Structure 1
Amino acid sequence: MTKAIAMISGGLDSLLAAKLIKNQGIEVIGVCFKSYFFNEDNAKRMTAQIDIPLEVVDFSEEHLEIVRNPKHGHGKNMNPCIDCHAMMMRYSGELLKKFNADFIITGEVLNQRPMSQNKGALQTVKKESGVGDKILRPLCAKNLDPTEMELSGLVDREQLLDIKGRTRTAQMELAEKWGIVDYPSPAGGCKLTEPNYSKRLKITLENTPTITKRELELLKIGRHFRVNNGATIISTRTADEAKSIKELLNENDTVMLAKDFSGSMIVILSKDPSLSDIEYGAKLTARYSKGKDLGVITIKYGNYSKPLNKIVEAAAATDEEINTYII
């Protein structure tokens, strides 16, 4: 029986591509990738809707190196899409052997994304992957030259599609036809496409020779401030963020809270912060508390997991003080 590996991003397009090939009586096995910047949650939910198995590949460390130094550059933010797709293709090529599969399916649509899905980029990925002759893009196949899978009759080209451009009307119509109702927005999934996260990551990579998983996770939470001496201060925005950040903190981190008012948790990523760090952190604590309009208020602080038994008085940070260090 003909067998295909479908690269599942967790979005709608890749699922539709897999379903299109499955409808030709071809066995389809999904593969998704997880890294520090995206995970497999959406892919699991999506593949369940068309009843195909899913193989999860963790390539976090290798992907981080590509984010640092992409051969083909970054996109609008910190997303190295061409290099990332080529690496995914290489991994998928290895899975062809593991599953004794015949070819690889992707959900790419010609000209949907200006950097990574124009004709030149698709050709670059095909070449860099090392498995170019095994790649089939079912959603836009009729806009591209026939692959060996189509020429040999392994896949019926007439049942493939000619979608192109940024409109998603055709995809949404297919989803409705096939009863696929649970899918994320096109912009979701990869943190590297988010401007704020990308800015924080860029600054961190430029100033940190080695970066840990904890540091990458902390970049996703709250408001971030980088003060003159390079210290990072985080202000949580919601109760959920406060809960999430507690799972990442240790006794080397300093926590600040308004003594008599509810509000943001402030974290200084330092066991022994400088006096200026404490003063600025206290101003942030006052600013993001219910007592921000009451003048000077009392701020308590200390190392995480220990009593917050140190006290400092502070007035709320001004807009200028916020804007000077926020990233």
Structure 2
Amino acid sequence: MTRALALISGGLDSILASKLIKDQGIDVIGICFKSYFFGSKNAEKMTKQIGIPLEVVDFSDEHLEVVKNPKHGHGKNMNPCIDCHAMMMKEAGNLLEKFNADFIITGEVLNQRPMSQNKSSLNVVKKESGIGEKILRPLCAKVLPPTEMELNGLVDREKLLGISGRSRKIQMELAEKWGIKDYPSPAGGCKLTEPNYSVRLRELLEHVENPSIRELELLRFGRHFRVTKECKIISSRTASEADQIKKFLTIEDTGFLVKDFRGSMVVIIGNPSEEDIEFASKVAGRYSKGKDEEMIKVMYGYYTKPYDKFLQVKPADDDEISKYIIS
């Protein structure tokens, strides 16, 4: 029986492409790559809707190296889409023999994304993956040259589509027709496409060559400040955000609380200088109910231990916040 490996991002397009091929009587196995910047939750949910199995492949460390220095550069934010797609194709190609599969399918649509899905970019991915002749893009196949799978009869080209451009009308019509519901927005699962996260990641990589999982996860929450190179100051925006930050804190981190006023949870990640401690105290004051006070008393100490040290500071003003805030 003919078998295809489908790259499943968790979005709608890859599921529609898989459904098109499955409906030709071809066995389809979903492959989802997970990294520090995107996971498999949406892919698991979406594959269940069309009844195909899913294999999750963790390539976090390899992907991080590509993010640091992509051959074809980053997109609008920190997303190295061309390099990322080529890497996924190459890794999927290595799985063809393991799963006794004949070819690979993706949900890419010609010209849907101006930088990463134009004809030139698709050809770059095809070439650099090393398995170009084994890649089929069912949603836009009819506006691309026939692949060997179509020419040798493994796939019926007439049952494929010729979608091109940024409109998603056809995809949404197909989703309704096939009963595919509750799908995420395009690119919604990749943190590297998010402007704020990308600013923080770029700044982190300037100071830390090999960031830890904790450092990468903390980029998702709060306001971030850097006074000295050795540490990061984080201030929560909401109570729920504070709860998320707490999951990644250790006894070596330093926490701050304004003594007589409620406010943001402020922490220092790393080894702080006196300058860091003073500014973190001022940040705690700025994002507390005592922000308009002339002076406030701030307690601080190692996280999970009693906050037994104190500073009297004036809450940070706009100029100070602007000077040190990352985003």
The TM-score with structure 1 as length reference comes to 0.96
Using the alignment, how far apart are the partners of 1:79 and 1:137 within structure 2? 21
Matches within 5 A, 1:1-327: 1-271=1-271, 273-327=272-326
Using the alignment, how far apart are the partners of 2:260 and 2:110 within structure 1? 57
Per-residue CA distance 1:13-60 (angstroms, 9 max, x = gap): 111111111111111100001111111111111111111110000001
Using the alignment, how far apart are the partners of 1:117 and 1:193 within structure 2? 15
Per-residue CA distance 1:75-99 (angstroms, 9 max, x = gap): 1111111111011001111111111
TM superposition outliers: structure 1 runs of 4+ over 6 Å: none
Q: Is the 8 A contact 2:228 2:276 kept in 1?
A: no
Give how far 1:181 is off: 1.1
- SS of the residue corresponding to residue 221 of structure 2 reads coil
Using the alignment, how far apart are the partners of 2:234 and 2:79 within structure 1? 24
Using the alignment, how far apart are the partners of 1:224 and 1:177 within structure 2? 45
Q: Is the 8 A contact 2:17 2:139 kept in 1?
A: yes
Amino acid at match of 1:233: I
Between stretches 277-286 and 227-236, larger displacement belongs to 227-236
**1:40–1:229 CA distance, 2 compared to 1 (3 A):** closer
RMSD: 1.3
Using the alignment, how far apart are the partners of 1:190 and 1:4 within structure 2? 25
Per-residue CA distance 1:86-119 (angstroms, 9 max, x = gap): 1100111111111101110100000111111000
Give how far 1:230 is off: 4.9
Give how far 1:223 is off: 0.8
Using the alignment, how far apart are the partners of 1:290 and 1:187 within structure 2? 38
Give how far 1:213 is off: 1.2
Using the alignment, how far apart are the partners of 1:278 and 1:90 within structure 2? 47
Per-residue CA distance 1:160-208 (angstroms, 9 max, x = gap): 1111111111111111111111111113111111111111111211222
Aligned residues: 326
Between stretches 177-186 and 198-207, larger displacement belongs to 198-207
Percent of aligned pairs sharing the same letter:
69
* Structure 2: runs of 5+ lacking an equivalent: none
Using the alignment, how far apart are the partners of 1:83 and 1:187 within structure 2? 16
Using the alignment, how far apart are the partners of 1:176 and 1:247 within structure 2? 39
Using the alignment, how far apart are the partners of 1:228 and 1:297 within structure 2? 23
Give how far 1:231 is off: 2.9
Amino acid at match of 1:311: F
- SS of the residue corresponding to residue 204 of structure 2 reads helix
Amino acid at match of 1:308: Y
Give how far 1:209 is off: 2.5
- SS of the residue corresponding to residue 242 of structure 1 reads helix
Give how far 1:275 is off: 2.0
Between stretches 147-156 and 292-301, larger displacement belongs to 292-301
Using the alignment, how far apart are the partners of 1:6 and 1:39 within structure 2? 16
Using the alignment, how far apart are the partners of 2:302 and 2:247 within structure 1? 15
The TM-score with structure 2 as length reference comes to 0.96
Give how far 1:228 is off: 4.2
Give how far 1:229 is off: 4.7
Per-residue CA distance 1:223-243 (angstroms, 9 max, x = gap): 111114553111111222211
- SS of the residue corresponding to residue 5 of structure 2 reads strand
Using the alignment, how far apart are the partners of 1:290 and 1:169 within structure 2? 49
Using the alignment, how far apart are the partners of 2:230 and 2:195 within structure 1? 21
Per-residue CA distance 1:241-265 (angstroms, 9 max, x = gap): 2112112111221111122322211
* Structure 1: runs of 5+ lacking an equivalent: none
